[in-house]
Amino acid sequence: MKNLYEYRERGIEVCQTEGSQHYKDGGLEPFDLIIAKGMTEDFCIGNIVKYAVRFKWTQNIEDLKKAADYAHILAGVKIVEAETKEEDQ
């Protein structure tokens, strides 16, 4: 039986994403507008929930990859916010 760390490592390998090309074509990504409007946290949380719930019914690993991608983005946003706050003090 595998342990937590082996499962996590394998999951990280599979969940590496860079976004689809159709979002990158045409200059500004829609997500950039969401960031600019300060809606990133709510948008990410909503998508994490959406894809996690969807996985329950689809059993499609792509849904888990998308949920993980939004979690990684949100973690990155929060890390940068904390670093910026520390620099401003």
Task: Give the pLDDT of residue 16.
Answer: 72
Each residue of 16-70: pLDDT tens digit? 776 667 666 767 788 888 988 999 999 999 999 999 999 999 999 999 999 999 9
| Closest by CA position to 62, among listed 74, 51, 73 | 51
Domain parsing of the chain, residue ranges: 4-88
Each residue of 56-79: pLDDT tens digit? 999 999 999 999 999 999 999 899
Query: Which two tokens mark 10?
Result: 């394998």
In angstroms, the CA 27 to CA 23 distance is: 9
- pTM for the structure as a whole: 0.78
